């Protein structure tokens, strides 16, 4: 098995694992962090597919801006549930 194939398989396992964990992990905050990890792994996958344009956009938008929006929503939800916290 060549090194690149091993890397591809490892990356795909990491992608599927982080996606599944993001949806099943008990703590919602962890779920969002896992989705950010998933976005960064996606950027790597795009680089492997010879798509540096999408890799750039995915790292900035998929991981960065989506993460900021979702984290803010989680913070908002927590502040609502635990007033004063």
Partner 1 sequence: MKRALPVVIVALAALLGAALAAAMLDLPPHAVRLPGAVAANLAASGVAHPITAVLLNFRGYDTLLEIAVLLLALFGVLALVKPHAAGAAHPAHPLLQTLARLLAPLMVLVAGYLLWIGASAPGGAFQAGAVLAAAGVLLRLAGLLPTWAAPNLLLRVGLALGLLVFVAVAAAVLGHATLLTYPPALAGGLILVIEASLTLSIGLILAALYLASTEVRP
Partner 2 sequence: MSVGLLYALAGAALFAIGLAGLLALPHLLRKILAFNILGSGAFLILVGLGQRDGSVDPVPQAMVLTGIVVAIAATALALALARQLLERTGRMQLPEDRPDAETDDA
Query: How many angstroms separate the Cα of 44 from the Cα of each of 24, 50, 53, 63?
Result: 23, 10, 12, 12
- Which of 10, 1, 20 has its CA nearest to residue 44? 10
Interacting residues with partner 2 between 1 and 40 (CB under 8 A): 4, 8-9, 12, 15-16, 19-20, 22-23, 26-29, 31-32, 35, 38-39
By CB under 8 A, residue 52 contacts partner 1: yes
**Could you tell me what percentage of the chain is helix, strand and coil, using 3-state DSSP and rounding each to the nearest 5?**
85, 0, 15
Question: Minimum CB separation from partner 2 for residue 3, in Å?
Answer: 13
Distance CA 5, CA 24 (A): 28
- Name the residues that contact partner 2, by CB under 8 A: 4, 8-9, 12, 15-16, 19-20, 22-23, 26-29, 31-32, 35, 38-39, 42, 45-46, 48-51, 53-54, 57-58, 61-62, 65-66, 69-70, 73-74, 76-78, 80-81
């Amino acid at each position: 098995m060549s090194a690149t194939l091993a890397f591809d398989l490892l990356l795909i396992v990491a992608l599927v694992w982080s996606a599944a964990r993001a949806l099943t992990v008990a703590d919602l905050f962890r779920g969002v962090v896992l989705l950010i990890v998933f976005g960064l792994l996606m950027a790597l996958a795009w680089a492997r597919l010879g798509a540096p344009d999408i890799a750039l956009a995915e790292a900035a938008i998929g991981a960065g801006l989506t993460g900021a929006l979702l984290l803010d929503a989680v913070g908002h939800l927590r502040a609502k549930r635990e007033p004063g916290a």
